[in-house]
Chains A and B, each alone.
Chain A
Amino acid sequence: MSTSLPTGFSDAAETLERVWSDEAKRGDETVTFSRQPLCDQLIDVFQQCSQPGWDGAGSDAVERATLEIAWHFLRSLPTAYRTAAISGEPDGHINLEWYVHPRRILTVSINPNGILHWAALIGAEDPRGSCPFYGEAPRTLLYWIGRVCNA
């Protein structure tokens, strides 16, 4: 199975392709079709949001660094949790959303410095917080993603 993304995309594709290739070189041969949609979503977000003003005056571009952090964060999650909807935000962050219904939802916002801002709504519980991403998914987030996904 190929571990390369299709060529001909923008800088975003090149960035993700490089990350992907680096991982393959480290012996990670677990790239599967199941991750492709997430990769596609990230490329779409970057293509749509990589210019200042993409969401009207004052909106910040999504930087390549943020794209890479988002990709590494997604890769750090158990396969079962790689189901987030991905979108850009006007402050230049990348948003990941795990959604079951309006009162069972977790939203994570990734900034260019690798800080994960998150909030959930699970029934009457409304936890929230922020934490740095150092390459491994924070346990707190794994817990709350699990609470949302394993209802």
Chain B
Amino acid sequence: MIDVDHIPPVADDELLARFIVNSNEFRQDGTVRPKLFMPYSLVDLSVNRHRDCTEREIWDVGYSVAETRQRTLYGRADIVASSSRIAPLDVVPDPLLPANPNHAEITRFPPAKEDQQALAVKLAAAASKRLGPPDC
């Protein structure tokens, strides 16, 4: 995990994970639906930075997210930070200390639903296919 005393800005080439906790957030072919990247009533979207993380640590965060939301962890989709920085979006560190210094937010979603949808379809198109958790 990232050193809690030195949390750097999110570099363009960093990989970010978005955890999948609903079965309707991905399709049978493994591609992810735009709704995975919708902030809805919020203007920020939680992601987790791969930086300085082992694969096990990435999944541990995913399981924690699912447990908090009382959902099933179906996997994750990864996206490169630069692909998330489509105007007006940005990616910024948002460490949840002490447990998760790798937490980040995709910020600046517009409030209008259709504008959020337009960004979400682009994020979904740029994201990886669903990666299943290790015990699946």
Contact = CB atoms under 8 A, between A and B. Distances in A.
Interface of A: 55-58, 85, 87-91, 93, 95, 97, 99, 101-103, 105, 107, 109, 111, 117-121, 126, 128-130
Contacts of B31: 101-102
Chain A interface SS verdict (over half): strand
A56 B70 contact: yes
Interface of B: 22, 24, 27, 31, 33-35, 38, 40-41, 69-71, 112-115, 117-118, 120-122, 124-125
Q: Which 6 A-B pairs have the closest CB atoms?
A: A119-B117, A102-B125, A119-B118, A117-B113, A56-B69, A87-B24
A101 B30 CA distance: 11
Contacts, number: 75
B114 A117 contact: yes
Chain B facing A: main interface SS: helix
Residue among A56, A91, A117, A128 with most chain B CB within 10 A: A128
B117 A109 contact: yes
A107 B113 CA distance: 11
Given A58-B41, A119-B121, A121-B121, A87 B70 contact: no
15 contacts: A56-B71, A85-B24, A91-B40, A99-B27, A107-B35, A107-B117, A107-B120, A109-B114, A111-B113, A117-B113, A118-B114, A119-B118, A119-B120, A126-B121, A129-B114
A138 to B, nearest CB: 13
B71 A105 contact: no
